Structure 1
Amino acid sequence: MMVRLLVSVRDVDEALAAAGAGADLIDLKEPADGALGGLAPERIARIVSVLRTRYPGLPISATVGDLPAEQADEILRRVGRVASRGVDYVKVGLWPTPEAPGRVTSLLDALADRTESIVPVLLVDEGLDAGLVDHALARGSFPGLMVDTATKRGGSLLQRVPAATLASFVAAVRSRGMLAGLAGSLRMDDAAALLALAPDFAGFRGAVTRGGRAGVLDPLLVRQLRGRFAAGAGAGHGRLATA
């Protein structure tokens, strides 16, 4: 299976560079403002306009910013604003709140009731909450589900969450006909392991920039990463067991 490559970009130049280098999905966000830092709606609209002209049919996602579940009303307002700029998917981060877990599930329910195409992103720095995954899947309203990390200096997602846990997540999401995505400080050398996990897409930023995730995107690195996925898929990497 070919893992599709999601590349996060912050402006038109980076978007065109990533698309030209073979990214399968362009993700709009501001990496200097957190894990899911949001761009201004006007910038989102500009990038979308250029990409639709140059690369029609290329999927585009955008984030709403790093907001806790306690700010559900603001999150929902931002979902509407971002979606109105023409993106295909709106990504919304879900930060675990141990002191009030019901707030996250309530936010999930509110998102599920929306008409926009929303992809919840579970932040798994403290582990993957299987109950939250089950709740999201049970709603059956989302086109996809993704995991990511909030803290980018703690190592790759694959170093922080057991492979079997990630494999079970991917299998559960795909069994519901939804897209499964993995992200979180993923590295170039993670390509082989990602092919074995077989998500629908894998998200990258720092691995394809010069000077860290807040640096400038390098299309040569995008091509290199794309080549690793293509070579691995051709070699017939199998999926990891979910047990």
Structure 2
Amino acid sequence: MARLLVSVRSADEARLALAGGASIIDVKEPAHGPLGRACSGAWAQVREVVPADVKLSAALGELTEWRGDDPPGVPPGALAEFDYLKVGLAGVGPDWEDEWRALADRLDAGRVRWIAVAYTDWEAAGAPSPTALLRAAFPFRGVLFDTWDKSKPAAWPPDFLDVLAGFRDRDATIALAGGLTVDRLAEISPFRPDIVAVRGAACVNGRRDGDIDPARVAELTSLVGEIGAG
């Protein structure tokens, strides 16, 4: 069965997502972009309320935000208890893989599993294509297909099943996101994702800048649980 990931901004939102049955709690600040990085205080507060048997994830913004002489500050050990980390690749240049590796070494997050982000609108984002990610030597453990432009839902290319097969051959966990709603879950069922990731669909009135609605999370949890994962 697929698992539901819900992105939250705070400990209070994490409690609401857990009450609705979310399997994975992702810390993200939606006001800061598609993979908006929350402050380290939010990481710590969410970590304190999430049970040990629930996986924790954190969005770290775009890789370009970590460049320069004044990158974001990360207190020692701030991410050590997270299971998954992901960083977007919008606007990166040809050395993106070296930069990604340098960021991973700098954060030294222990047991964390890095998730590659494949933007379905990668050309508009100026990001590597899914094929380029598949060729990467960086040891990522999963891939998240998401949208960079949050005004549009994800559009799956005609060869998407073949793309997914390539990542499965690499033994990568498959996560799907990008404007997914209750009505679109049947559409992604043939792709057999391991994880379905949402923000807006779990919020009041379906707005990603709204508050988490546990009733919406419960409905999503039930429906996502019916999607078989390969």
TM-score tier (shorter):
0.7 to 0.9
Question: Which residue number corresponds to residue 148 of structure 1?
Answer: 146
User: Which structure 2 residue ranges, 5 or more long, are not aligned?
Assistant: none
C-alpha separation between the residues in 2 aligned to 1:80 and 1:181? Answer: 28
SS for the counterpart of 1:132 is: helix
> Does 2:220 match 1:225?
yes
Do the aligned residues in 1 keep the contact of 2:3 with 2:225 (CA within 8 Å)? no
Name the one with the larger helix percent.
Answer: 1
Q: Distance in 1 between matches of 2:178 and 2:189?
A: 16
* C-alpha contact (below 8 Å) 2:90/2:122 kept by paired residues: no
**Matched residue of 1:181: which SS?**
strand
- Equivalent residue pairs, number: 221
Which structure 1 residue ranges, 5 or more long, are not aligned?
Answer: none
CA distance in 2, matches of 1:168, 1:81: 38
CA distance in 2, matches of 1:88, 1:57: 11
Aligned pairs for 1:58-207 (under 5 A) are 58-68=54-64, 71=67, 78=74, 82-84=78-80, 86-97=81-92, 100=93, 102-110=94-102, 115-116=108-109, 117=112, 118-127=114-123, 129-136=129-136, 138-139=137-138, 141-154=139-152, 156-157=153-154, 160-162=155-157, 164-165=159-160, 167-207=161-201
1:168 Cα deviation from its structure 2 partner: 2.6
**Most deviating of 107-116 and 69-78:** 69-78
CA distance in 2, matches of 1:195, 1:220: 22
* Identity over aligned pairs, percent: 32
Distance 2:90 2:74 in 1: 17
1:120 and 1:78 mapped to 2: Cα distance? Answer: 20
> Does the CA contact (< 8 Å) of 1:181 and 1:202 recur in 2?
yes
Structure 1 pair 189–73 and aligned structure 2 pair: CA distance change class (3 A): farther
Letter in structure 1 aligned against 2:216: L
TM-score normalized with structure 1 length: 0.79
Q: 1:130 to 1:205 in 2, by over 3 A?
A: closer
1:14 aligns with 2:6: no
Q: Calculate the aligned-residue CA RMSD, in Å.
A: 2.7
Runs of 4+ in 1 over 4 A off after TM superposition: 72-82, 111-115
Q: Is the 8 A contact 1:96 1:123 kept in 2?
A: no
Query: Which segment drifts farther, 197-206 or 168-177?
Result: 168-177
Normalising by structure 2, what TM-score?
A: 0.83
User: Residues 180 and 200 of structure 1 are in contact (CA less than 8 Å); yes or no, is this contact kept in structure 2?
Assistant: yes
RCO comparison, higher one (Cα < 8 Å, 6+): 2
